[in-house]
Structure 1
Amino acid sequence: MTEGDGDGRSSWSRAVGVISAIGPPVTVATALLFYFGWARADAQAAYMGLNVSLFGYTVQDYLLISINALFLPLVCILAASVAWLALDRLLRRRIEEDRGRAVILRAAGIGALVSGLVVGVSLVLAVVDRTRTALFSPYLMALGVLVATWCVHLRRLGRSSRVPALSAEQRAVETTLILSIVTLLLFWGTADYAQALGRRLAVDYEQGVQFMPRAEVYSPKPLGIGSGAVTEVKVGNGEAPLYRYDGLRLLVLSGGRFFFLHDGWAPRDGTVIVLPDDNSVRIEFRR
Protein backbone atom coordinates (compact mmCIF):
# COMPACT_ATOMS: atom_id res chain seq x y z
CA MET A 1 0.00 0.00 0.00
CA THR A 2 1.46 3.36 -1.00
CA GLU A 3 1.50 6.47 1.14
CA GLY A 4 -0.93 8.14 -1.23
CA ASP A 5 -3.39 5.31 -0.73
CA GLY A 6 -3.12 5.65 3.00
CA ASP A 7 -3.68 9.40 2.85
CA GLY A 8 -6.58 8.88 0.47
CA ARG A 9 -8.27 6.44 2.82
CA SER A 10 -7.62 8.75 5.77
CA SER A 11 -9.17 11.68 3.92
CA TRP A 12 -12.13 9.56 2.87
CA SER A 13 -12.64 8.38 6.44
CA ARG A 14 -12.58 11.95 7.71
CA ALA A 15 -15.04 13.01 5.03
CA VAL A 16 -17.42 10.18 5.97
CA GLY A 17 -17.07 11.16 9.62
CA VAL A 18 -17.98 14.76 8.87
CA ILE A 19 -20.99 13.74 6.75
CA SER A 20 -22.23 11.32 9.41
CA ALA A 21 -21.86 14.01 12.06
CA ILE A 22 -23.63 16.73 10.06
CA GLY A 23 -26.24 14.60 8.29
CA PRO A 24 -28.42 13.53 11.25
CA PRO A 25 -28.68 17.05 12.77
CA VAL A 26 -29.63 18.51 9.37
CA THR A 27 -32.21 15.75 8.87
CA VAL A 28 -33.68 16.31 12.32
CA ALA A 29 -33.72 20.09 11.83
CA THR A 30 -35.51 19.73 8.47
CA ALA A 31 -38.05 17.36 9.98
CA LEU A 32 -38.63 19.77 12.86
CA LEU A 33 -39.13 22.68 10.46
CA PHE A 34 -41.64 20.70 8.40
CA TYR A 35 -43.49 19.46 11.48
CA PHE A 36 -43.56 22.95 12.98
CA GLY A 37 -44.98 24.40 9.77
CA TRP A 38 -47.64 21.71 9.53
CA ALA A 39 -48.63 21.94 13.21
CA ARG A 40 -48.84 25.74 13.06
CA ALA A 41 -50.93 25.70 9.87
CA ASP A 42 -53.16 22.91 11.22
CA ALA A 43 -53.87 24.72 14.51
CA GLN A 44 -54.46 28.01 12.70
CA ALA A 45 -56.87 26.40 10.21
CA ALA A 46 -58.72 24.49 12.93
CA TYR A 47 -59.20 27.67 14.97
CA MET A 48 -60.72 29.28 11.88
CA GLY A 49 -63.07 26.33 11.36
CA LEU A 50 -61.14 24.85 8.42
CA ASN A 51 -59.07 21.79 7.65
CA VAL A 52 -55.45 22.43 6.75
CA SER A 53 -55.74 20.13 3.71
CA LEU A 54 -58.01 22.72 2.04
CA PHE A 55 -55.03 25.05 1.58
CA GLY A 56 -53.10 22.50 -0.44
CA TYR A 57 -49.75 23.39 1.14
CA THR A 58 -46.66 21.62 -0.17
CA VAL A 59 -43.59 20.54 1.80
CA GLN A 60 -41.82 23.70 0.68
CA ASP A 61 -44.75 25.79 1.91
CA TYR A 62 -44.57 24.21 5.36
CA LEU A 63 -40.83 24.83 5.54
CA LEU A 64 -41.27 28.48 4.55
CA ILE A 65 -44.07 28.90 7.09
CA SER A 66 -41.86 27.61 9.88
CA ILE A 67 -38.67 29.52 9.06
CA ASN A 68 -40.21 32.90 9.72
CA ALA A 69 -41.15 31.96 13.29
CA LEU A 70 -38.13 29.76 14.08
CA PHE A 71 -35.37 31.91 12.58
CA LEU A 72 -34.48 33.71 15.83
CA PRO A 73 -34.73 30.60 18.06
CA LEU A 74 -32.54 28.62 15.65
CA VAL A 75 -29.90 31.36 15.61
CA CYS A 76 -29.90 31.42 19.41
CA ILE A 77 -29.61 27.62 19.58
CA LEU A 78 -26.68 27.59 17.13
CA ALA A 79 -24.91 30.38 19.04
CA ALA A 80 -25.42 28.53 22.32
CA SER A 81 -24.12 25.33 20.70
CA VAL A 82 -20.92 27.06 19.61
CA ALA A 83 -20.39 28.44 23.13
CA TRP A 84 -21.13 25.00 24.57
CA LEU A 85 -18.54 23.33 22.33
CA ALA A 86 -15.92 25.93 23.29
CA LEU A 87 -16.63 25.39 27.00
CA ASP A 88 -16.52 21.62 26.58
CA ARG A 89 -13.15 21.83 24.82
CA LEU A 90 -11.78 24.07 27.58
CA LEU A 91 -12.95 21.82 30.41
CA ARG A 92 -11.70 18.66 28.71
CA ARG A 93 -8.28 20.25 28.21
CA ARG A 94 -8.10 21.30 31.87
CA ILE A 95 -9.09 17.79 32.98
CA GLU A 96 -6.43 16.19 30.76
CA GLU A 97 -3.82 18.64 32.07
CA ASP A 98 -4.99 18.04 35.67
CA ARG A 99 -5.74 21.72 36.29
CA GLY A 100 -8.71 22.07 38.62
CA ARG A 101 -9.80 18.50 37.95
CA ALA A 102 -11.45 18.06 41.37
CA VAL A 103 -13.43 21.30 41.06
CA ILE A 104 -14.64 20.44 37.56
CA LEU A 105 -15.69 16.93 38.57
CA ARG A 106 -17.55 18.25 41.62
CA ALA A 107 -19.32 20.88 39.52
CA ALA A 108 -20.18 18.25 36.89
CA GLY A 109 -21.74 16.04 39.56
CA ILE A 110 -23.85 18.92 40.88
CA GLY A 111 -24.82 19.85 37.33
CA ALA A 112 -25.99 16.30 36.60
CA LEU A 113 -28.14 16.24 39.75
CA VAL A 114 -29.66 19.66 39.07
CA SER A 115 -30.36 18.75 35.44
CA GLY A 116 -32.07 15.54 36.50
CA LEU A 117 -34.20 17.52 38.95
CA VAL A 118 -35.14 19.99 36.19
CA VAL A 119 -36.20 17.12 33.94
CA GLY A 120 -38.35 15.59 36.67
CA VAL A 121 -40.03 18.84 37.68
CA SER A 122 -40.66 19.81 34.04
CA LEU A 123 -42.25 16.44 33.34
CA VAL A 124 -44.56 16.76 36.35
CA LEU A 125 -45.57 20.29 35.37
CA ALA A 126 -46.22 19.25 31.78
CA VAL A 127 -48.52 16.45 32.91
CA VAL A 128 -50.31 18.36 35.68
CA ASP A 129 -50.79 21.80 34.07
CA ARG A 130 -50.69 21.55 30.28
CA THR A 131 -52.33 24.94 29.73
CA ARG A 132 -49.42 27.05 30.95
CA THR A 133 -46.23 25.09 31.50
CA ALA A 134 -46.31 22.53 28.67
CA LEU A 135 -45.25 25.13 26.14
CA PHE A 136 -41.67 25.19 27.44
CA SER A 137 -41.46 22.03 29.55
CA PRO A 138 -40.33 19.72 26.69
CA TYR A 139 -37.51 22.13 25.81
CA LEU A 140 -36.41 22.29 29.46
CA MET A 141 -36.44 18.49 29.62
CA ALA A 142 -34.36 18.23 26.42
CA LEU A 143 -31.86 20.75 27.80
CA GLY A 144 -31.74 18.89 31.10
CA VAL A 145 -31.04 15.58 29.39
CA LEU A 146 -28.24 17.10 27.31
CA VAL A 147 -26.62 18.88 30.26
CA ALA A 148 -26.87 15.80 32.47
CA THR A 149 -25.30 13.64 29.76
CA TRP A 150 -22.52 16.17 29.25
CA CYS A 151 -21.78 16.33 32.97
CA VAL A 152 -21.65 12.54 33.20
CA HIS A 153 -19.20 12.43 30.28
CA LEU A 154 -16.97 15.00 31.99
CA ARG A 155 -16.93 12.98 35.20
CA ARG A 156 -16.23 9.83 33.21
CA LEU A 157 -13.32 11.56 31.49
CA GLY A 158 -11.92 12.80 34.80
CA ARG A 159 -12.15 9.36 36.40
CA SER A 160 -11.02 7.36 33.38
CA SER A 161 -8.05 5.96 35.27
CA ARG A 162 -10.34 4.41 37.92
CA VAL A 163 -13.48 3.61 35.90
CA PRO A 164 -13.39 1.14 33.00
CA ALA A 165 -14.05 2.78 29.65
CA LEU A 166 -17.22 1.96 27.76
CA SER A 167 -16.98 -0.25 24.73
CA ALA A 168 -17.81 1.06 21.27
CA GLU A 169 -21.14 -0.81 21.34
CA GLN A 170 -22.07 0.66 24.73
CA ARG A 171 -21.24 4.18 23.56
CA ALA A 172 -23.31 3.70 20.41
CA VAL A 173 -26.33 2.47 22.40
CA GLU A 174 -25.99 5.34 24.88
CA THR A 175 -25.72 7.95 22.13
CA THR A 176 -28.69 6.50 20.25
CA LEU A 177 -30.91 6.51 23.34
CA ILE A 178 -29.97 10.08 24.30
CA LEU A 179 -30.52 11.41 20.78
CA SER A 180 -33.85 9.58 20.54
CA ILE A 181 -35.09 11.09 23.82
CA VAL A 182 -33.95 14.59 22.86
CA THR A 183 -35.51 14.31 19.39
CA LEU A 184 -38.87 13.19 20.81
CA LEU A 185 -38.81 16.04 23.34
CA LEU A 186 -38.04 18.53 20.58
CA PHE A 187 -40.97 17.27 18.51
CA TRP A 188 -43.20 17.50 21.58
CA GLY A 189 -42.15 21.06 22.32
CA THR A 190 -42.35 22.02 18.66
CA ALA A 191 -45.93 20.76 18.40
CA ASP A 192 -47.07 22.70 21.48
CA TYR A 193 -45.33 25.91 20.43
CA ALA A 194 -46.54 25.67 16.83
CA GLN A 195 -50.14 25.08 17.87
CA ALA A 196 -50.06 28.01 20.28
CA LEU A 197 -48.58 30.24 17.57
CA GLY A 198 -51.15 29.08 15.01
CA ARG A 199 -54.05 29.88 17.32
CA ARG A 200 -52.57 33.29 18.11
CA LEU A 201 -52.19 34.10 14.40
CA ALA A 202 -55.83 33.16 13.82
CA VAL A 203 -56.88 35.52 16.60
CA ASP A 204 -54.65 38.26 15.14
CA TYR A 205 -56.64 38.10 11.90
CA GLU A 206 -59.61 39.48 13.80
CA GLN A 207 -57.64 42.62 14.66
CA GLY A 208 -55.83 42.93 11.34
CA VAL A 209 -58.48 41.97 8.80
CA GLN A 210 -58.95 45.64 7.86
CA PHE A 211 -55.30 45.79 6.76
CA MET A 212 -55.60 42.87 4.33
CA PRO A 213 -55.93 43.60 0.59
CA ARG A 214 -59.48 44.50 -0.36
CA ALA A 215 -60.97 42.31 -3.10
CA GLU A 216 -63.89 42.74 -5.48
CA VAL A 217 -65.14 39.57 -7.10
CA TYR A 218 -67.01 39.62 -10.43
CA SER A 219 -68.98 36.59 -11.56
CA PRO A 220 -71.45 35.99 -14.42
CA LYS A 221 -73.46 33.79 -12.05
CA PRO A 222 -74.65 34.38 -8.48
CA LEU A 223 -72.16 32.88 -6.03
CA GLY A 224 -74.55 32.65 -3.09
CA ILE A 225 -72.04 33.84 -0.49
CA GLY A 226 -73.77 33.41 2.85
CA SER A 227 -71.95 36.07 4.87
CA GLY A 228 -74.01 39.14 5.65
CA ALA A 229 -70.89 41.29 5.53
CA VAL A 230 -70.47 40.56 1.80
CA THR A 231 -72.78 42.55 -0.47
CA GLU A 232 -73.94 41.45 -3.89
CA VAL A 233 -74.41 44.13 -6.56
CA LYS A 234 -75.80 43.39 -10.02
CA VAL A 235 -73.73 45.44 -12.45
CA GLY A 236 -74.60 43.69 -15.72
CA ASN A 237 -77.77 43.56 -17.78
CA GLY A 238 -80.16 40.91 -18.95
CA GLU A 239 -78.07 39.93 -21.97
CA ALA A 240 -74.75 39.95 -20.10
CA PRO A 241 -75.41 39.33 -16.39
CA LEU A 242 -72.59 40.23 -14.03
CA TYR A 243 -72.48 40.24 -10.25
CA ARG A 244 -70.01 42.08 -8.04
CA TYR A 245 -69.24 41.07 -4.46
CA ASP A 246 -67.82 43.65 -2.04
CA GLY A 247 -66.53 43.41 1.52
CA LEU A 248 -63.95 40.68 0.90
CA ARG A 249 -60.37 40.60 2.15
CA LEU A 250 -57.72 38.34 0.66
CA LEU A 251 -56.30 35.85 3.14
CA VAL A 252 -54.11 33.67 0.93
CA LEU A 253 -53.86 32.08 -2.51
CA SER A 254 -52.88 28.44 -2.15
CA GLY A 255 -53.59 25.12 -3.81
CA GLY A 256 -55.41 26.73 -6.75
CA ARG A 257 -57.92 28.50 -4.48
CA PHE A 258 -58.47 32.00 -3.19
CA PHE A 259 -59.27 32.24 0.52
CA PHE A 260 -61.12 35.37 1.59
CA LEU A 261 -62.22 36.81 4.89
CA HIS A 262 -64.85 39.51 5.16
CA ASP A 263 -64.96 42.86 6.92
CA GLY A 264 -65.49 42.37 10.63
CA TRP A 265 -64.38 38.74 10.50
CA ALA A 266 -63.90 36.96 13.86
CA PRO A 267 -62.98 33.34 14.63
CA ARG A 268 -66.19 32.82 16.62
CA ASP A 269 -68.78 33.57 13.94
CA GLY A 270 -66.83 34.61 10.83
CA THR A 271 -66.99 32.95 7.43
CA VAL A 272 -64.07 31.96 5.23
CA ILE A 273 -64.97 32.25 1.54
CA VAL A 274 -63.15 29.90 -0.84
CA LEU A 275 -63.19 30.53 -4.60
CA PRO A 276 -61.34 28.68 -7.38
CA ASP A 277 -58.42 30.36 -9.13
CA ASP A 278 -59.79 29.99 -12.65
CA ASN A 279 -61.68 31.91 -15.32
CA SER A 280 -65.07 31.43 -13.65
CA VAL A 281 -64.58 34.61 -11.60
CA ARG A 282 -62.65 37.84 -11.99
CA ILE A 283 -60.99 39.38 -8.95
CA GLU A 284 -59.75 42.92 -8.50
CA PHE A 285 -57.58 43.92 -5.60
CA ARG A 286 -57.09 47.34 -4.04
CA ARG A 287 -56.10 48.87 -0.74
Structure 2
Amino acid sequence: MPSADEVRERSESAEPALDPWSRTLKAISAVGPPVTIAAALLLYFGWARSNAQAKAMGLDVSLFGYSPQDYMLRSINSLFLPLTLLTIVAIGWYALDQALRAAVDAGKAIPAIRRGALIVIIAGTTGAVVLFVIALTAPDAALPLHPYLIAGCVLFAAWGMRIHRYARAAAAASLMRRRRVLETTFVTILVTLLLFWGTADYAEAVGQGLAAGYERSIETLPRATVYSDAALSIAGGGVVGATEGTAEAPLFRYTGLRLLVVSGGRIFFLNDGWNPRDGRVIVMPDDGSVRYEFQN
Protein backbone atom coordinates (compact mmCIF):
# COMPACT_ATOMS: atom_id res chain seq x y z
CA MET A 1 0.00 0.00 0.00
CA PRO A 2 1.54 3.34 -1.02
CA SER A 3 2.41 5.80 1.70
CA ALA A 4 0.85 9.22 2.06
CA ASP A 5 4.01 10.86 0.67
CA GLU A 6 3.95 8.64 -2.41
CA VAL A 7 0.28 9.42 -3.08
CA ARG A 8 0.96 13.12 -2.73
CA GLU A 9 3.96 12.90 -5.08
CA ARG A 10 1.82 11.15 -7.71
CA SER A 11 -0.82 13.85 -7.37
CA GLU A 12 1.74 16.61 -7.83
CA SER A 13 3.39 14.87 -10.80
CA ALA A 14 0.00 14.37 -12.49
CA GLU A 15 -0.81 18.07 -12.21
CA PRO A 16 2.53 19.87 -11.67
CA ALA A 17 1.50 23.33 -12.90
CA LEU A 18 -1.41 23.91 -10.53
CA ASP A 19 -1.35 24.30 -6.76
CA PRO A 20 -4.58 23.72 -4.76
CA TRP A 21 -5.60 27.37 -4.86
CA SER A 22 -5.00 27.55 -8.62
CA ARG A 23 -7.17 24.47 -9.14
CA THR A 24 -9.86 26.11 -7.03
CA LEU A 25 -9.78 29.26 -9.13
CA LYS A 26 -9.86 27.13 -12.28
CA ALA A 27 -13.01 25.37 -11.09
CA ILE A 28 -14.60 28.69 -10.11
CA SER A 29 -13.91 30.04 -13.60
CA ALA A 30 -15.94 27.16 -15.03
CA VAL A 31 -19.00 28.50 -13.17
CA GLY A 32 -18.31 32.18 -13.68
CA PRO A 33 -15.19 34.35 -13.52
CA PRO A 34 -14.81 36.08 -10.13
CA VAL A 35 -14.83 39.48 -11.84
CA THR A 36 -18.17 38.65 -13.50
CA ILE A 37 -19.66 37.50 -10.20
CA ALA A 38 -18.37 40.63 -8.45
CA ALA A 39 -19.83 42.87 -11.16
CA ALA A 40 -23.17 41.08 -10.94
CA LEU A 41 -23.18 41.51 -7.15
CA LEU A 42 -22.40 45.23 -7.49
CA LEU A 43 -25.21 45.68 -10.02
CA TYR A 44 -27.70 43.69 -7.94
CA PHE A 45 -26.73 45.47 -4.73
CA GLY A 46 -27.13 48.88 -6.40
CA TRP A 47 -30.59 47.95 -7.67
CA ALA A 48 -31.73 46.39 -4.38
CA ARG A 49 -30.46 49.34 -2.36
CA SER A 50 -32.11 51.87 -4.66
CA ASN A 51 -35.34 49.85 -4.71
CA ALA A 52 -35.51 49.68 -0.89
CA GLN A 53 -34.71 53.38 -0.62
CA ALA A 54 -37.37 54.31 -3.17
CA LYS A 55 -40.02 52.17 -1.44
CA ALA A 56 -39.21 53.77 1.92
CA MET A 57 -39.80 57.15 0.27
CA GLY A 58 -43.11 56.04 -1.27
CA LEU A 59 -41.73 55.72 -4.81
CA ASP A 60 -40.94 53.07 -7.37
CA VAL A 61 -37.29 52.71 -8.35
CA SER A 62 -38.21 52.72 -12.06
CA LEU A 63 -39.17 56.40 -11.77
CA PHE A 64 -35.51 57.34 -11.38
CA GLY A 65 -34.47 55.74 -14.68
CA TYR A 66 -31.12 54.53 -13.37
CA SER A 67 -28.80 52.77 -15.82
CA PRO A 68 -26.77 49.65 -14.92
CA GLN A 69 -23.73 51.88 -14.54
CA ASP A 70 -25.65 54.10 -12.10
CA TYR A 71 -26.58 51.08 -9.99
CA MET A 72 -22.97 49.89 -9.85
CA LEU A 73 -21.64 53.33 -8.94
CA ARG A 74 -24.27 53.73 -6.21
CA SER A 75 -23.23 50.41 -4.67
CA ILE A 76 -19.49 51.03 -4.40
CA ASN A 77 -19.68 53.51 -1.53
CA SER A 78 -21.79 51.19 0.63
CA LEU A 79 -19.74 48.07 -0.17
CA PHE A 80 -16.27 49.58 0.23
CA LEU A 81 -15.87 48.70 3.93
CA PRO A 82 -17.40 45.17 3.74
CA LEU A 83 -15.27 44.28 0.70
CA THR A 84 -12.14 45.59 2.42
CA LEU A 85 -12.84 43.48 5.51
CA LEU A 86 -13.56 40.41 3.37
CA THR A 87 -10.26 40.89 1.52
CA ILE A 88 -8.34 41.08 4.80
CA VAL A 89 -10.06 37.91 6.04
CA ALA A 90 -9.29 36.14 2.74
CA ILE A 91 -5.60 37.06 2.98
CA GLY A 92 -5.44 35.74 6.54
CA TRP A 93 -7.30 32.58 5.53
CA TYR A 94 -4.89 31.98 2.64
CA ALA A 95 -1.86 32.45 4.91
CA LEU A 96 -3.26 29.95 7.42
CA ASP A 97 -4.02 27.43 4.65
CA GLN A 98 -0.49 27.66 3.26
CA ALA A 99 1.02 27.31 6.74
CA LEU A 100 -0.99 24.16 7.46
CA ARG A 101 -0.12 22.62 4.10
CA ALA A 102 3.56 23.40 4.65
CA ALA A 103 3.39 21.71 8.07
CA VAL A 104 1.80 18.61 6.50
CA ASP A 105 4.47 18.52 3.77
CA ALA A 106 7.14 18.70 6.47
CA GLY A 107 5.45 15.92 8.45
CA LYS A 108 4.79 18.15 11.45
CA ALA A 109 1.73 17.88 13.72
CA ILE A 110 -0.27 15.88 11.16
CA PRO A 111 -2.54 14.18 13.76
CA ALA A 112 -3.29 17.54 15.38
CA ILE A 113 -4.05 19.13 12.01
CA ARG A 114 -6.41 16.27 11.12
CA ARG A 115 -8.24 16.61 14.44
CA GLY A 116 -8.47 20.36 13.99
CA ALA A 117 -9.80 19.91 10.46
CA LEU A 118 -12.50 17.54 11.76
CA ILE A 119 -13.54 20.15 14.31
CA VAL A 120 -13.73 22.75 11.53
CA ILE A 121 -15.87 20.43 9.37
CA ILE A 122 -18.29 19.68 12.22
CA ALA A 123 -18.50 23.31 13.34
CA GLY A 124 -18.99 24.67 9.83
CA THR A 125 -21.60 22.07 8.84
CA THR A 126 -23.53 22.42 12.09
CA GLY A 127 -23.47 26.20 11.89
CA ALA A 128 -24.68 26.23 8.28
CA VAL A 129 -27.54 23.79 9.01
CA VAL A 130 -28.68 25.62 12.16
CA LEU A 131 -28.57 29.04 10.48
CA PHE A 132 -30.43 27.73 7.42
CA VAL A 133 -33.16 26.17 9.58
CA ILE A 134 -33.55 29.44 11.49
CA ALA A 135 -33.81 31.37 8.22
CA LEU A 136 -36.60 29.06 7.00
CA THR A 137 -38.59 28.55 10.20
CA ALA A 138 -38.03 31.79 12.15
CA PRO A 139 -36.88 34.57 9.81
CA ASP A 140 -37.64 37.21 12.45
CA ALA A 141 -35.02 35.62 14.70
CA ALA A 142 -32.36 35.67 11.99
CA LEU A 143 -29.09 37.42 12.78
CA PRO A 144 -27.85 40.45 10.82
CA LEU A 145 -26.37 39.42 7.47
CA HIS A 146 -27.72 35.91 8.07
CA PRO A 147 -27.03 34.51 4.55
CA TYR A 148 -23.44 35.75 4.71
CA LEU A 149 -22.97 33.78 7.93
CA ILE A 150 -24.32 30.65 6.22
CA ALA A 151 -21.93 31.19 3.31
CA GLY A 152 -19.04 31.58 5.76
CA CYS A 153 -19.96 28.32 7.50
CA VAL A 154 -20.15 26.49 4.15
CA LEU A 155 -16.72 27.78 3.14
CA PHE A 156 -15.38 26.93 6.61
CA ALA A 157 -16.58 23.32 6.36
CA ALA A 158 -15.34 22.92 2.76
CA TRP A 159 -11.92 24.23 3.72
CA GLY A 160 -11.79 21.83 6.68
CA MET A 161 -12.52 18.93 4.33
CA ARG A 162 -9.67 20.02 2.05
CA ILE A 163 -7.18 20.27 4.90
CA HIS A 164 -8.28 16.94 6.40
CA ARG A 165 -8.00 15.19 3.03
CA TYR A 166 -4.61 16.76 2.38
CA ALA A 167 -3.30 15.62 5.75
CA ARG A 168 -4.66 12.12 5.24
CA ALA A 169 -3.84 11.67 1.52
CA ALA A 170 -5.29 8.14 1.45
CA ALA A 171 -7.26 8.23 -1.81
CA ALA A 172 -6.07 7.88 -5.37
CA ALA A 173 -4.71 11.12 -6.81
CA SER A 174 -6.96 11.20 -9.89
CA LEU A 175 -10.09 10.51 -7.81
CA MET A 176 -9.07 13.26 -5.39
CA ARG A 177 -8.74 15.74 -8.27
CA ARG A 178 -12.20 14.88 -9.63
CA ARG A 179 -13.73 15.23 -6.19
CA ARG A 180 -12.01 18.57 -5.64
CA VAL A 181 -13.36 19.98 -8.89
CA LEU A 182 -16.91 18.80 -8.18
CA GLU A 183 -16.82 20.01 -4.59
CA THR A 184 -15.42 23.39 -5.60
CA THR A 185 -18.06 23.79 -8.30
CA PHE A 186 -20.98 22.96 -6.00
CA VAL A 187 -19.61 25.05 -3.13
CA THR A 188 -19.08 27.98 -5.49
CA ILE A 189 -22.65 27.79 -6.78
CA LEU A 190 -24.06 27.55 -3.24
CA VAL A 191 -21.93 30.39 -1.90
CA THR A 192 -22.75 32.59 -4.89
CA LEU A 193 -26.49 32.10 -4.29
CA LEU A 194 -26.03 32.86 -0.60
CA LEU A 195 -24.10 36.02 -1.49
CA PHE A 196 -26.98 37.27 -3.65
CA TRP A 197 -29.42 36.41 -0.87
CA GLY A 198 -27.33 38.24 1.70
CA THR A 199 -26.79 41.14 -0.68
CA ALA A 200 -30.55 41.63 -0.96
CA ASP A 201 -30.92 41.78 2.84
CA TYR A 202 -27.93 44.08 3.30
CA ALA A 203 -28.99 46.36 0.46
CA GLU A 204 -32.52 46.63 1.85
CA ALA A 205 -31.16 47.67 5.24
CA VAL A 206 -28.82 50.22 3.65
CA GLY A 207 -31.57 51.61 1.40
CA GLN A 208 -34.02 52.01 4.26
CA GLY A 209 -31.31 53.65 6.35
CA LEU A 210 -30.54 56.13 3.59
CA ALA A 211 -34.22 57.03 3.21
CA ALA A 212 -34.55 57.57 6.95
CA GLY A 213 -31.32 59.56 6.91
CA TYR A 214 -32.85 62.23 4.68
CA GLU A 215 -35.13 63.22 7.55
CA ARG A 216 -32.08 63.93 9.72
CA SER A 217 -29.88 65.48 7.04
CA ILE A 218 -32.35 67.30 4.80
CA GLU A 219 -30.56 70.57 5.59
CA THR A 220 -27.38 69.25 3.98
CA LEU A 221 -29.00 68.83 0.54
CA PRO A 222 -28.61 71.71 -1.96
CA ARG A 223 -31.35 74.36 -1.86
CA ALA A 224 -33.32 74.66 -5.08
CA THR A 225 -35.43 77.45 -6.57
CA VAL A 226 -37.75 76.70 -9.48
CA TYR A 227 -38.82 79.35 -12.04
CA SER A 228 -41.57 78.70 -14.58
CA ASP A 229 -43.69 80.68 -17.02
CA ALA A 230 -46.73 78.66 -15.93
CA ALA A 231 -48.11 77.82 -12.52
CA LEU A 232 -46.80 74.44 -11.36
CA SER A 233 -48.90 74.07 -8.22
CA ILE A 234 -46.01 72.60 -6.24
CA ALA A 235 -47.22 71.78 -2.74
CA GLY A 236 -45.57 70.43 0.38
CA GLY A 237 -44.42 71.48 3.80
CA GLY A 238 -41.96 74.36 3.55
CA VAL A 239 -42.62 75.00 -0.17
CA VAL A 240 -43.43 78.67 -0.90
CA GLY A 241 -44.79 79.87 -4.23
CA ALA A 242 -44.65 83.47 -5.44
CA THR A 243 -45.61 85.34 -8.62
CA GLU A 244 -43.13 87.67 -10.28
CA GLY A 245 -42.89 89.42 -13.64
CA THR A 246 -45.84 91.20 -15.26
CA ALA A 247 -49.38 90.32 -16.21
CA GLU A 248 -48.30 89.90 -19.82
CA ALA A 249 -45.24 87.84 -18.90
CA PRO A 250 -45.81 86.20 -15.51
CA LEU A 251 -43.07 84.29 -13.75
CA PHE A 252 -43.74 81.79 -11.00
CA ARG A 253 -41.08 81.09 -8.37
CA TYR A 254 -41.03 78.18 -5.89
CA THR A 255 -38.64 77.88 -2.95
CA GLY A 256 -38.35 75.51 0.00
CA LEU A 257 -37.09 72.63 -2.15
CA ARG A 258 -34.02 70.42 -1.78
CA LEU A 259 -32.29 68.63 -4.65
CA LEU A 260 -32.43 64.85 -4.30
CA VAL A 261 -31.06 63.46 -7.57
CA VAL A 262 -30.95 64.09 -11.32
CA SER A 263 -31.62 60.96 -13.36
CA GLY A 264 -33.47 59.70 -16.42
CA GLY A 265 -34.20 63.17 -17.82
CA ARG A 266 -35.93 64.23 -14.58
CA ILE A 267 -34.97 66.16 -11.45
CA PHE A 268 -36.19 64.96 -8.07
CA PHE A 269 -36.73 67.34 -5.15
CA LEU A 270 -37.69 66.97 -1.51
CA ASN A 271 -39.58 69.61 0.38
CA ASP A 272 -37.97 71.31 3.38
CA GLY A 273 -38.64 69.28 6.51
CA TRP A 274 -39.18 66.11 4.50
CA ASN A 275 -39.89 62.87 6.38
CA PRO A 276 -40.98 59.39 5.26
CA ARG A 277 -44.46 59.79 6.77
CA ASP A 278 -45.89 62.87 5.05
CA GLY A 279 -43.05 64.33 2.99
CA ARG A 280 -43.32 65.02 -0.72
CA VAL A 281 -41.04 63.98 -3.58
CA ILE A 282 -41.45 66.47 -6.43
CA VAL A 283 -40.49 65.31 -9.93
CA MET A 284 -39.70 67.94 -12.56
CA PRO A 285 -38.60 67.63 -16.20
CA ASP A 286 -35.00 68.31 -17.12
CA ASP A 287 -35.75 69.56 -20.63
CA GLY A 288 -35.20 73.31 -20.40
CA SER A 289 -38.88 74.18 -19.98
CA VAL A 290 -38.28 75.10 -16.34
CA ARG A 291 -35.33 77.06 -14.89
CA TYR A 292 -33.58 75.91 -11.74
CA GLU A 293 -31.20 77.59 -9.33
CA PHE A 294 -29.20 75.71 -6.73
CA GLN A 295 -27.20 76.87 -3.72
CA ASN A 296 -25.74 75.47 -0.54
Same fold (TM over 0.5): yes
Cα contact 1:134–1:192 (8 A) shared by 2: no
Once residues 198 and 182 of structure 1 are traced to their aligned partners in structure 2, the CA distance between those partners, rounded to angstroms, is 24
Identity of aligned residues (%): 49
1:113 aligns with one of 122, 134, 141: 122
What does the per-residue CA deviation read over 1:43-72, in whole Å, with 9 as the maximum and x for residues that have no partner? 000111111111111111111111101111
The CA deviation string for residues 253-276 of structure 1, in whole angstroms up to 9 with x for no partner, is: 111111000011111111100001
CA distance in 1, matches of 2:126, 2:64: 43
Distance 1:172 1:31, change over 3 A: same
CA-CA distance at 1:182 after TM superposition:
0.3
Q: Does 1:40 align with 2:49?
A: yes
- Compute the displacement of 1:173 (Å): 2.2
Q: TM-score, normalised by structure 2?
A: 0.86
Counterparts in 2 of 1:167 and 1:120: CA distance versus 1, 3 Å: closer
Matched residue SS, 2:139: coil
- Matches of 1:18 and 1:144, distance apart in 2: 18
Aligned 8 A contact 2:154 2:191 in 1 = yes
CA distance in 2, matches of 1:186, 1:251: 30
Could you say if the C-alpha distance between residues 131 and 204 of structure 1 is closer, same or farther in structure 2, counting changes exceeding 3 Å? farther
Distance 1:18 1:131 in 2: 36
* Aligned with residue 184 of structure 1, among 182, 185, 193: 193
Q: For residue 217 of structure 1, what is the aligned residue in structure 2? A: 226
**Distance apart, 1:190 and its partner CA:** 0.6
Other structure's SS at 1:250 match: strand
Q: What is aligned with 2:182?
A: 173
**Which has the higher mean CA deviation after the structures are superposed, 134-143 or 262-271?**
134-143
1:230–1:63: structure 2 CA closer, same or farther, 3 Å change rule? same
Cα distance, 1:196 vs structure 2: 0.7
Cα separation, 1, equivalents of 2:149 and 2:200: 15
Specify the alignment match of 1:85 in structure 2. Answer: 94
1:50 and 2:67 are equivalent in the alignment: no
Q: 1:158 to 1:19 in 2, by over 3 A?
A: closer
Q: TM-score if structure 1 supplies the norm length?
A: 0.89
Deviation at 1:226, TM superposition (A): 3.3
Alpha-carbon distance between aligned partners in 2 of 1:226 and 1:215, rounded to the nearest angstrom: 14
Q: Counterpart in 2 of 1:248?
A: 257
Cα deviation code 1:91-127 (max 9, x no counterpart): 0111122100000000000111011111122112323
Q: Which runs of 5+ in 2 are unaligned?
A: 1-15
Change (3 A) 1:132 1:255: farther
Mapped contact 2:118–2:164 kept (Cα < 8 A): yes
Give the aligned partner of residue 3 of structure 1. none
What is the SS of the residue equivalent to 1:235? strand
The alignment of Structure 1 onto Structure 2 pairs a total of residues equal to 273
Aligned to 1:200: 209
Matches of 1:168 and 1:248 in 2, distance apart?
Answer: 64
| Residues 129 and 197 (structure 1), Cα distance of their counterparts in 2 relative to 1, 3 Å cut | farther
Matched with 1:67 is: 76
Tell me if structure 2 keeps the 8 A contact 1:218–1:282. yes
**Secondary structure class of the residue paired with 1:242:** strand
Q: 1:104 aligns with which of 100, 113, 120?
A: 113
Partner of 1:284: 293
